[in-house]
Amino acid sequence: MANQDQRALAKVITMIENDHPKKLSIMSDLNARKKNAHYIGITGSPGAGKSSVVDHFLTLLREKNKKIAVIAVDPTSPFSGGALLGDRVRMQKHFTDENVFIRSMATRGSIGGLARATKDAIRACDAYGFDYILIETVGVGQSELDIMKVADTTAVVLTPNSGDIMQVFKAGIMEIADLFILNKSDLPGVNKLKSQLEDLIHIAGHKGLEPPIIETTSSEKPSGFDNLYEAFNKHWTYLEETKTGKEKRQEQLQYEVYELIQEELWKEIKQSIEQDEAKQRSLSEHGDPYQIAEQWLKEWRRNRKGDSGG
């Protein structure tokens, strides 16, 4: 991958998705090679035009000779376990561009809008040497907050007359947005939406840089994307130069360390349970999950303590 072969990058991401036994060592090596790309999260309700926004912004970045990776996080197929929307459906005009890498990834049951493998794929793309990594999530919801734990800049896409704005406010999305995109701003109702959003931003309150509102249109003649580019870069500069930005990245790192430890411990516990026939029998003999969980945890901790010579 050091030679910037996209096939090698795709192979590494597949290994990550399939939870290769050497994944942690692979990721550690990739992390040492990171180039400090700008991670941009694009989220919003289904139908808000997230893919169109990403497509037009991608075109602008290529005009500026930037190298871009796009990670599109899609719902999981209940049959194959793969992403329901494929990368060939999206952004077809960029598919053969050697400076653009597009990958669709399945949530695989993740309730936070991002799969664990997605975060690792972002790191792999960073090591590859892209200038920007765009992460498009499944959609806004009460648990669609994972994006803030990996993206440098998070943009929430809204459209006039969609009725989504109060849901966004109630779901806590206001607090994670670094900027708002009013897409399809050539439609009636955009002024009302902008006024409501300004009021909600004021109510929510923000430490540091207040989220700007960028109006875009994704029709045949897209507009507003130069302003969007400037807003993203302004936020990146803010992260680089302020204490708040450094604190945000420290929090993201701490969360990711916790998440990785939790994931590895869960794998170890799950494997020990599945290999214990007595435990499997107890599942059919007892109906109290709390008692079973407490007993199994005590046994696991006792065994761990014995293994460590304590």
- Reported as type and span, the H/E element at residue 154 is strand 153-158
- pLDDT given for residue 308 in this prediction: 60
Contact between 152 and 38 under an 8 Å Cβ cutoff? The reply is yes
pLDDT at position 140 is 53
- Quote the pLDDT of residue 107: 61
Predicted confidence pLDDT, tens digits, the chain (310 residues): 555 688 999 999 988 888 888 888 888 888 888 888 999 999 887 778 888 899 999 999 999 999 999 998 865 443 344 444 444 455 667 777 889 999 888 765 444 446 678 888 999 999 999 999 999 886 655 445 677 788 999 999 988 877 666 666 666 677 778 999 999 898 888 998 899 888 888 877 767 788 999 999 977 788 999 999 999 999 999 999 988 888 888 888 898 888 888 888 888 888 888 888 777 777 777 667 888 888 888 888 888 776 665 5
HSE-CB at 42 with a 13 A cutoff on CA atoms is 28
Q: List the domains of the chain with CATH numbers.
A: 6-241 (3.40.50.300), 256-307 (no CATH)
